[in-house]
Amino acid sequence: MTDAEGADPREAHVIHPSLYRPVLFAGAEPAVVVLEVSTAFALVFLVGFHLVTVLLAAFYVGAVHTTMVWVASQDAHMTALYVRSLAHRDHYPALAAVNGPPPRVRPSIPPAR
């Protein structure tokens, strides 16, 4: 499939990178960043505004955020995939009991809200 000039017309359509690039906040998954900020906020303002809590919150955000940026660079959906995998069993037996109930079937696509 080439046009009159010999070029492939499928190559003329460029997909904008925002359509396939994952959405990240400061290099990490949005849910993780919200959790980090919420934890640091709670630590500083609910525990008490002291030098120790501010340093502990800064250390927490620095260490956790650096780790989560590295995880997001490996796979941008790693934590969502991990949380989804927690709903499944670690091992499925090869044969179920004769009179045992079948396992509950969960939909693979969550229902719309």
CA–CA separation, 68 and 78 (whole Å): 10
Q: Phi-psi category of 22—alpha, beta or left, where left has phi over 0 and alpha has psi -120 to 50?
A: beta
Give exposure, 41-72, as e/b (b: 16+ Cβ within 10 Å): eebbeeeeeeeebeeebeeebeebbeebbebb
Report pLDDT digits (tens) over 35-93.
999 999 999 999 989 999 999 999 999 999 999 999 999 998 898 889 888 988 887 76
**pTM greater than the 0.95 cutoff:** no
Quickly count: other Cβ atoms within 10 Å of residue 29's Cβ.
22
